[in-house]
Structure 1
Amino acid sequence: MTDPADGLSAGETLLLDRLTASLRGVDQITLLLGSGVTAGVIPRVHGVLEIADSFAAGRNDDGALERALEQARSELVGARPIDVYRAYRRVFTDWVSAGAFDVIAQQAVLKAYAAPDPMESPLATHGLGQRLERGVGEGVENDRFSWQLPRGVQALGHLLAQVPEAFDHRVLTTNFDPLLEIAIRSARGRAISLPLDSRGAYGSAGAADGAVRVFHLHGFWRPTLHVRGPRLLHDPARITDNKQLIAATADLIRGDTICVLASSDWSGTVSAALAAVARTRPVRVLWALNDPDAATALSTAEHLREIIGVPVECFPGVDSERLFPALAERAEVPVPPRATGLRHRVRHHSWERQLVSQPGTQPPRDVPGLLLQLERRFGWINQQRGTTSPIRLLWPVRLRSRASVIHMVQAFVAGALARLGVEVRICIDDVGSRDIDVAAEFRADLERWFDHTGHGAVREFVSLTDFLEHVQSQPADTSPEALLRPTDPWSVARTFYGEHNPSLYSLLAAVKAVPNLTSWDELEQNAWPILQSVLRTDANRLLTPLTLWPYLNSMLLESATNDVLTLGGRDEAILWAQWRQTFGFGPGHLYNPYIKSLKHDAHMLRWSSEEELRRHLHSTSELPGWDAEGSYVPWLFQNAMLLPGYLNNDPVPESGDFALDSWAAFVAAIQDDRPVLDQLAARVTDLFLRP
């Protein structure tokens, strides 16, 4: 075994010896950690100020906030970063609101969070620049595999999870991020976040037996049950000489050995709290410095001794990224590689040739089996809520002048599920439409495609306009179930807009008026496309949640909520995520694969002849990246040619003696100069246009 001290500085080796002796003895250690512990992934003061500048640059105030910040900077040339931070907070309070700078701090914390699928993130329904409330913040923390953890924090999480008694089941930190808690939970421990308010109170830590209490001395990044108010983080101008906060911090320091690490103690509250403790009992203070200079460590130790009143050992050149892994090794606490979960959906075309559509392969005869094969073979996404097999399907479809091939593909799946006994309701969103002929032709197309795989199975068409008129004509339902999930648009609006209070951007993304982007960089890069979308999108899209959700709620009043499955496109995920955040646990969702670069109104999705589709296919196949997964040609082949054949157990299509049983085979046929693009055009057009 290698010596754990290998690669450590002299200061780290000495501090490691001191801590190891405390772990092996009867001493308890109180850890008091500063921002340097998470600085590898969470911006420090300078980075937070850059986020604030970006916020100000995008604010619609004719540059007033930017000028005010510039004025504050000009008055503090050469000042400490913390002094500039104080000035920025004051400007934000004066020009925006009392808690405005908390939003900047939250964005800084989220720099360490990267969900593999933004559509699945709790932030999918939350606008950037909007304050995160407790529920959303807790949801983001619970998605612990999406957080970046520095190596030192990860090792400390395992130490606190496996030998919590050595640290008195507690750790104190001036940080406002949740990375310590996430590290402890990732190590299968329990952690409770306890931020102190401006008076030093932290509420109740009841029912916390065995859990590690993480006390956030200067506030926390999200609201908690006992700290709400207009501010989450303490005002730096009010931290210094805050006697209540100092006394509360001193009361939390219970250990015989106190280790201060990665803290500059710019406010002086840490040293003041240690002085209060030293006046009541003997303590041993170990103070780690990032500065490697030994002379600086000696002078700092003398200065701290004068303040605290007892000798202080200072250790130069200490980096938590090295110290905590070494301490875990000394304590014989294993720190395995961190599991990160599934990050990407990977397609294996060689497997598809064997598994997707070989001759003789039959679709499952049960609903769960069919849903599983849609995921595995064709890349559909099934988000099943609960364990009950879906017995009802809600397929909401916006009425358009003409149905598209996306509708056709969705109808194939709806028909196949209906054939297996699922009760299918096709809800036509015809709110605001008065063209009876268009509605009849649209429904006829859906019926025809449904029957191709449904073979005459029962389905029910529902006009959303008729449903809403019926609801408005009935007395209000005041049952507890109806109050929880109302069926009238006004009650839905009051719950969604009034109580849930989504950001305007997330609402526009949910109704597909703007692209759903989840980072500042993406928003800045797509500013013009977003503006174009806002300018050209009809305002009636905003009615979707207020008209569609009442119908879903009416279905959920009929029986258990987890037997319902909705059918739609992947870009509707945020709409249903907002429903869940508004009304709680509910139905599952089935999404067809996304077509890159094409929206529902594109003419390439609703051609009028085989020749027209053939022209689309040939011209598209000459473009770079035409064969990438999700592009037009592979999407049509997989979903409009292979899928219906699979659902009906039809023979595999062939080109001469060449079986077109996977996308890889289709590409190989093109390279062999076989006319498979024409064959695709003929087969798909036959399904799309056949009377």
Structure 2
Amino acid sequence: MNDPQDQMTNKVKMPASLCQSVAAGEIVPFVGAGASLSVKRDLFPSWTGVLERLEQELESEGREPEKTLVRTYTNLGRLFDAAGEAYKSLGHARFAKVMVELFHKAKPADADLSLHKLIWEVNPDLVLTTNYDSALEWANEKATPILNANRSDLAGIASQSRRQMSRVWHLHGYIADSESLILAPSQYDRLYVESTKDTYEAARKQLHAIVANRPLLFVGFSLEDRYVMEMLEKVLNCFAGSLASSYALFRSGDGDSESLWEKHNIQVLEYENHGADLTHLIEGVLKDKRDRTSKTSVAMPTQQESGSTIESDWPGCRIQRAPANSESFLDLFRVLEDNFAFRWERESFEEQTNPIVYWPVRLREPSAIHAVQSFAAAALQRQGARVILCLDDFGDKKYEASRFIKRVHRWISKVGGKSDQLESRTFKNILNTRDPQIAWNHVQKWLGGESYKLEKVLLICKLYKVGMGLEEYMSKGTGRLLTPGVVWACLKHLIDEFPGSSLLTLGGHDECNLWQAWRERISEGDPLVGHLYIPELSNTHMETTNLRWKAKSDVQRTLELKLGGQDAETDWRSENAIVPWSLAGCVFSPEYLTDPKCVASKIIVSAEAESSTLMRPTVDAVANWVLE
């Protein structure tokens, strides 16, 4: 019996350039509203459905003439005019309220995300979309939404150093932040056209750089939704011939679109019907990429000499050697990013001989996450940094600061760091010995006045994640609401204490939102601050997995649950799953950091490797570095 994917591939001649671009990771998916309609029937409306809901809103406001005009435009197929009239009549706030009602949804238990997962397979690093909803984030829990006002995220969106960080650029805004929404045709110029009041200059420049240099793959655009196609035409016209050779997946029979695609040098690949035919077509596009990676699934570092690929002592694995130099801080950050899955945001950081490292940590029982941070702190010390551990000791203390510091000292010493030179402070001491008004000012900027919407505040405080149910986060305490303001106030004290010095923050991957908010709300005078984040461990693991290991049996129990127990992961090789994360952060990075002359290399885990054969060496190696 023939494979449907092979049948589709035979029907559609795959352009070699497309397959090569996908395999090389160059192509960027550009996702339209049709993709969201596939998640679940009637979950999200088409734009015709949106206009019908806007008519109801106009009627409820007693705006009968305006409602009639919107309906007339809709019946004439002038959907842009219909949306523009509704926006003008309702105003921004009420129009946005309707959009939130229609598109701000919790992830359904029976959501079909197969199309979105394939889109992420085309490019795991970056997806562009004009959609407001969270479907792409549902399909990839690692994905971070990027908005047009996020200058710091936009600045590095196309850089090689930020690859392996899944990002969704919501060009027209993200429903979780209603202030970001570009709602009607009259607002599109804010992003696509230069003006004297240039709100989104940085976003527009980045977008033009991407579309001019990287091929796009358009998915989810259909003549069935004429509004979306009209919007797409206006967007493409703004690029005025600068678009790199690109591709569109389009249903056969939608022939009226051919002139649009040809005009902009976009090659069309047709499929017969939405659903299975489209997914089989994308799988055909992915065939070359899958063939190249069928024998490998995840890369993780280890310590070896520079040279070729050799067999390793890890069952089912090979070691791929790669040289690593860290003569400067920027070299070190590059090694940590490229080989150990750290994330470095340079921002305004400047290379200096002795920068200050601000390492804020919530005081609690130490875990493997703190071990990885300690190993990184030791590497920064060796490079010449002055590391200052700042313990958040507000609230109900369940662990003594002295015990926490003692554990950190042992981890730093294990990798050859200078534990006696680690400076330790507490938030209470910092704020009590210096001007406490600074903390209050930061809290006011954080939660008072023109603050973020509640959902974004909860995300930054790690009290909420997209798709979380109401009951789940209503049970959480409120103390963390003040944490960002206090963390930022302590940083301000260090900036004042060391004027002119470069600083960098050290912390978990989930603190990216915290420091983005600091730059948007608090940062003044462009201080010399960068951010180093340890490898990402998915939110699910951090919330449900025991990482406070006291004995080897604790390590084994955690790994067994993820490899073959009741909490087993189907994709246990995924970079941010517990086993690869433990190897990268708790084994191979400390092995590398113990010897500055050592080279960083990668361990390749074969797709055929048995998880059971990796259990014993993994448990032994993790225990060797993390346990006392």
* TM-score normalised to structure 1 length: 0.53
Supply the AA of the counterpart residue of 2:131: K
Please tell me whether residue 684 in structure 1 is matched to residue 622 in structure 2.
yes
Q: Which residue of 2 aligns with 1:657?
A: none
Q: Which residue of 1 aligns with 2:485?
A: 546
Q: Name the CA distance, whole Å, in 2 between partners of 1:291 and 1:667.
A: 42
Please tell me whether residue 425 in structure 1 is matched to residue 388 in structure 2.
yes
For structure 2, which runs of at least 5 residues remain unmatched after alignment? 1-29, 35-44, 105-127, 154-173, 182-189, 191-196, 218-229, 245-253, 267-288, 307-322
Q: Name the CA distance, whole Å, in 1 between partners of 2:324 and 2:338.
A: 14
Q: Deviations for 1:121-151, whole angstroms, at most 9, x for unmatched residues? A: 44669743225698874443343159879x9
Q: Name the CA distance, whole Å, in 2 between partners of 1:109 and 1:602.
A: 32
Question: Which entry has the higher C-alpha Rg, 1 or 2?
Answer: 1
Q: Which residue of 2 aligns with 1:364?
A: 326
The one of 418, 437, 462 aligned to 1:512? 462
Task: Give the alignment of 1:42-191 within 5 angstroms.
Answer: 48=47, 50-51=49-50, 68=60, 79-81=72-74, 85=83, 88-89=86-87, 92-93=90-91, 97=94, 110-111=130-131, 118=144, 121-122=147-148, 127-130=176-179, 137-144=200-207, 179=235, 183=239
Identity %: 20
1:471 is displaced (CA, Å) by: 3.1
Q: 1:581 to 1:545 in 2, by over 3 A?
A: same
Contact 1:395/1:426 (<8 A) preserved: yes
Q: 1:136 to 1:543 in 2, by over 3 A?
A: farther
Q: Deviations for 1:375-405, whole angstroms, at most 9, x for unmatched residues? A: 11111111112462261111111112x1110
User: What is the CA RMSD across the aligned residues, in angstroms?
Assistant: 5.3
Please tell me whether residue 643 in structure 1 is matched to residue 589 in structure 2.
yes
Contact 2:366/2:548 (<8 A) preserved: yes
Q: Deviations for 1:566-623, whole angstroms, at most 9, x for unmatched residues? A: 1112211111111111225441111111123545454521133212322322332223
Q: Name the CA distance, whole Å, in 2 between partners of 1:666 and 1:320.
A: 44
Supply the AA of the counterpart residue of 1:684: V
Q: Deviations for 1:138-185, whole angstroms, at most 9, x for unmatched residues? A: 443343159879x9x99xxxxxxxxxxxxxxxxxxx989984796269
Q: Which residue of 1 aligns with 2:168?
A: none
Contact 1:394/1:425 (<8 A) preserved: yes
Q: Name the CA distance, whole Å, in 2 between partners of 1:562 and 1:185.
A: 46
Contact 1:427/1:462 (<8 A) preserved: yes
Q: Which residue of 2 aligns with 1:616?
A: 558
The one of 413, 420, 432 aligned to 1:451? 413
Contact 2:374/2:412 (<8 A) preserved: yes
Contact 2:410/2:419 (<8 A) preserved: no
Q: 1:464 to 1:633 in 2, by over 3 A?
A: same
Contact 1:383/1:589 (<8 A) preserved: yes
| Worse-superposed segment, 365-374 or 350-359 | 350-359
For these two proteins, the number of residue pairs brought into alignment is 444
Q: 1:177 to 1:351 in 2, by over 3 A?
A: closer
Contact 2:233/2:260 (<8 A) preserved: no
Contact 2:211/2:242 (<8 A) preserved: no
For structure 1, which runs of at least 5 residues remain unmatched after alignment? 1-38, 57-63, 155-173, 189-289, 293-316, 327-343, 477-487, 518-525, 653-659
The one of 505, 529, 536 aligned to 1:566? 505
Task: Give the alignment of 1:61-460 within 5 angstroms.
Answer: 68=60, 79-81=72-74, 85=83, 88-89=86-87, 92-93=90-91, 97=94, 110-111=130-131, 118=144, 121-122=147-148, 127-130=176-179, 137-144=200-207, 179=235, 183=239, 319-323=259-263, 356-359=302-305, 364-386=326-348, 388-389=350-351, 391-400=355-364, 402-434=365-397, 438-453=400-415, 454-456=417-419, 458-460=421-423
Q: Name the CA distance, whole Å, in 1 between partners of 2:57 and 2:562.
A: 48
Q: Name the CA distance, whole Å, in 2 between partners of 1:646 and 1:640.
A: 11
Q: 1:677 to 1:87 in 2, by over 3 A?
A: same
Q: Name the CA distance, whole Å, in 2 between partners of 1:685 and 1:514.
A: 32
Contact 2:302/2:603 (<8 A) preserved: no
| Worse-superposed segment, 65-74 or 541-550 | 65-74
Q: Name the CA distance, whole Å, in 1 between partners of 2:255 and 2:377.
A: 65
Contact 2:363/2:404 (<8 A) preserved: yes
1:414 is displaced (CA, Å) by: 0.5
Please tell me whether residue 531 in structure 1 is matched to residue 470 in structure 2.
yes
1:509 is displaced (CA, Å) by: 0.7
1:495 is displaced (CA, Å) by: 3.0
Q: Name the CA distance, whole Å, in 2 between partners of 1:85 and 1:589.
A: 42
SS at structure 2 position matched to 1:357: strand
- Choose between structure 1 and 2 for higher RCO, CA contacts under 8 A separated by at least 6 residues: 2
SS at structure 2 position matched to 1:80: helix
